[in-house]
A and B are shown apart, each in its own frame.
Chain A
């Protein structure tokens, strides 16, 4: 205990929120491997409150208002019990239970929330404690769910239908509700902004986002965004917040738009996150790029450079084969790369936008047909012009490249026309189809394939 109390005193005295948060980290650190054990051993349930208030606030070193003292003692008391459960698990005791750890940790979270919301008034600079407690609440809930699933519980209630998918995330959902209260706690604080809990809003939001993604209820994130938007007039500008909060927040908002197929907006947020991201945080950069690259492909039809991919081996494996095929206009290769990576793509929810890359591959292929068509006989005194009237069968022949003759002996001309019409419709090709003559008439003056120079 002496260590933890000393940590608390020095952090509080120095006004260090992060130092305070470290006290509430329920794991042993490398240089203090017995910090939890000694904290737990220092007292017992009977004299818990007394010992705590003595250890934390006795003496003249720390000036803390009485009501706040009580709140801290309550928090530490809950923390002490939770640590007891954690230690049980670490020691592998028979009565150890991850669900019990979660339940005990819930009490810590509730005590902390109470400490902030009631008149006891824990000051806002200690918010990192809230972040840490919330973070572990989520971790413990996930572990508790795994344990509960392994033991197999089933509750029915008065449902009309048999199945309840919710059960398997019961603890995490509970955690989400509590973290939601933390969010409200921050959002609704009306203290002057210098000492307001509003500074905690993005961090808590990120924590809920993370939780909602995990329990597959991404839809619920919209409510949070709406709540933040409604309060936006009273919030400091985004740039004023710690970058670490903002990067994560922008990343999640980007992914939320991404899942709704709002690629333009998604790209905006993801790009912000990308630009602000700490350059050493390669894992985070990788996560951002996982979504930013498909976004970019859809919105601007451009592919990641080799240089960019080279510094992210995992992404290179994911995107390199695909982008090579798109660049070459290799449809068969593209389809193969898609089905090879399908499982991973679907898991990361990037299959749908990547699939659209086929349009770009097709465009590149047809562009080759156009270029291979050569130039018309130059008229006198005029520079040579590309042939702009191309028979549909030439495009059909291009589509047959790489396919086995037995597999697809005849490419359906109607289908070829359909593909062309789509490219025209999407603005990837300029011109029109003259169906009766079996011709595609492309536009002149190097505008047939916009943005590609021909």
Chain B
């Protein structure tokens, strides 16, 4: 059986120098006992010479009197006829120590039927069998070598223990309990807590490992890198804020997957690859126009830039292109994300098209009617920006709407630079209703529909008529002397209602 140490296993052993030395055990409660034993201050309390010539029978210390049943149990453990070839003395002692400590701590010394209790070596053997029969029971079982197969490694660390103490296991266990008892008297809180925490942390660490393992499986399926199985690599999970990741993935396309842990360099594309990716995506977008695919790809592209801390003109271009595509498809949620990022990127003077996007930003806040943000956006506009056609246009649009100057607004609408028209399309109908509400109040007794078509930027009288009918009723249109006229008096209240409905709060959280 070859055992490669998986990464989660490797980290576990790093924190605990001698894991392989302990017999496999499915009970996590075993760990704290080991931890206890390694605490340095316990050792000096035990004179080395003391244990050497002691026999099990008289080893019970004066303070804690073990019942005779326990003593005979221990004696039986060490009896030569009970030794098993497959279980070493060290392992047996470990187990024994555990059994007695456990019993003493839980005040079960008098409850347990020591006559019938299985000897520690038998317990060890049983546990081993169980794990062999069903390897999934325990993580430990898989990676720990079965003890007889690898005696040298295990021997080493156990020998050290033996040398250091030289006392029989129960003697030590006894010492432990006694020390703990004394400790409790002097420092009640400090004694209890470390035990609890070690126990907790080992348990939660185990949980964490399990979770990580699960995610690695998922990662292999979404990432298209070479790592199909969780290959151990110590560099794979650097701590969160230890500088940028350096990617080594060479595949152009990658699905977006939200990060839940530090990124794996194997699935991150370096800048040179990302540049090719962008070219590919641009071509694909032109050819196929599949927004779902493009958006996903751009998100992963942005993610790779972020995790590698790449902030340069390329970053700006990526965000700009994604923002424009999102605009074109009316995906304002995604657009807004890009816009927020772009605002910060532009502040760092990395190039790109700041004025174009400042203009979009103003139009966007007109649409969402977020006046607090609009105030901020206006504060961002500098005197130089004002000279820019797009910015000037957006500012004029804003001011025209603020003053209710629909005439000017629709002139501006028909002459929008860049991709601003996509944004203006979002709120143009809303403003048409506002304008109609005003027109109906001001003009009496009726107006030619031709006037509305021209004034409110409709393409044809038919479109105007359809808009009127959709938002109010057909009875408001009347044919008179060869032209269709809107009966303003009756229409007023209806458009007023439609306007109020259209101006209800805009929710842009939904994304495509």
Q: Which positions in A face B, CB cutoff 8 Å?
A: 155-165, 216, 218-219, 259-261, 346-347, 349, 351-352, 355-356, 358-359, 412, 414-415, 417-422, 424-426, 432-435, 441
Contact = CB atoms under 8 A, between A and B. Distances in A.
B444 A161 contact: no
Nearest to A217: B372
Contacts of B406: 418
A160 B444 contact: no
Given A163-B341, A218-B372, A422 B241 contact: no
Contacts of A418: 405-408, 455
Interface in B275-332: 299, 302-303, 305-307, 309-311, 315
A421 B443 contact: yes
Given A162-B302, A415-B407, A432 B443 contact: yes
Which of A162, A163, A433: most chain B CB closer than 10 A?
A162
A349 B439 contact: no
Given A160-B259, A160-B303, A355-B399, 6 more contacts: A156-B306, A163-B341, A259-B375, A260-B372, A347-B379, A421-B439
22 contacts: A156-B241, A156-B244, A158-B262, A158-B263, A160-B258, A160-B303, A160-B306, A161-B340, A162-B345, A352-B371, A359-B403, A414-B455, A415-B405, A417-B407, A418-B455, A422-B403, A422-B438, A424-B438, A433-B444, A434-B443, A435-B448, A435-B451
Contacts of A163: 340-341, 343-345
A355 B403 contact: yes
A161 B402 contact: no
B442 A433 contact: yes
B442 A425 contact: yes
Interface in B344-397: 344-345, 371-372, 374-376, 378-379
Contacts of A218: 372
A424 B258 CA distance: 54
Nearest to A424: B442
A426 B404 contact: yes
A351 B378 contact: yes
A159 B438 contact: no
B302 A261 contact: no
B392 to A, nearest CB: 12
B87 interface: no
Contacts of B408: 415, 418
Contacts of A424: 438, 441-442
A422 B443 contact: no
B309 A422 contact: no
A157 B405 contact: no
Interface string B152-175: 000000000000000000000000
A433 B407 CA distance: 15
A438 to B, nearest CB: 12
For the complex of A and B, 6 pairs with smallest distance between CB atoms:
A421-B442, A163-B344, A418-B407, A425-B438, A432-B444, A422-B404
Nearest to A356: B402
A346 B375 contact: yes
Interface footprint category on B = 35 or more
A351 B375 CA distance: 8
Contact of B444 (A359, A414, A422, A434): A434
B435 to A, nearest CB: 8
A350 to B, nearest CB: 9
Contacts of B345: 162-163
B86 interface: no
Given A218-B372, A418-B455, A162 B407 contact: no
Contacts of A155: 241
A209 to B, nearest CB: 14
B494 interface: no
B437 interface: yes
B337 interface: yes
Contacts of A419: 405
B494 to A, nearest CB: 15
A378 B303 CA distance: 80
A164 to B, nearest CB: 8
A245 B399 CA distance: 38
Contacts of B261: 158
A160 B258 CA distance: 8
Contacts of B263: 158
B371 A259 contact: yes
Interface string B253-277: 0000011111100000000000000
Contact of B441 (A157, A260, A261, A421): A421
A162 B305 contact: yes
B442 A432 contact: yes
B240 interface: yes
A415 B407 CA distance: 6
A343 to B, nearest CB: 9
Contacts of A156: 241, 244, 306-307, 309
Given A352-B371, A419-B405, A158 B442 contact: no
Contacts of B109: none
B447 interface: yes
Interface string B427-463: 0000000000111011110011001001100000000
Contact of B447 (A161, A261, A435, A441): A435
Nearest to B399: A355
A53 to B, nearest CB: 22
Contacts of B442: 417, 420-422, 424-425, 432-433
Nearest to B496: A425
Nearest to B378: A346
A167 B260 CA distance: 21
Contacts of A219: 372
A117 B8 CA distance: 42
A433 B340 CA distance: 45
B375 A414 contact: no
A234 to B, nearest CB: 31
A347 B309 CA distance: 33
Contacts of B343: 163, 165
A163 B305 CA distance: 11
A418 B455 CA distance: 9
A165 B340 CA distance: 9
Contacts of B341: 161-163
Nearest to A421: B442
A158 B402 contact: no
Which of B337, B374, B448, B454: most chain A CB closer than 10 A?
B374
Contacts of A352: 371, 374-375, 402
A158 B403 CA distance: 45
B306 A162 contact: yes
Contacts of B307: 156
Contacts of B375: 259, 346, 349, 351-352
Contacts of A158: 240, 259-263
B505 to A, nearest CB: 11
A216 B310 CA distance: 27
B510 to A, nearest CB: 19
Contact of B405 (A261, A346, A422): A422
A425 B441 contact: yes
A412 B407 contact: yes
A359 B405 CA distance: 11
A393 B344 CA distance: 49
Contacts of B260: 158
Which of A155, A159, A219, A422: most chain B CB closer than 10 A?
A422
Contacts of A346: 375, 378-379
A259 B302 contact: no
A453 B443 CA distance: 24
Nearest to B244: A156
A307 to B, nearest CB: 30
Contact of B302 (A161, A355, A415, A432): A161
B93 to A, nearest CB: 46
Contacts of B376: 216
A441 B444 CA distance: 10
Contacts of B372: 218-219, 259-260
Nearest to A158: B259
A355 B402 contact: yes
A352 B438 CA distance: 21
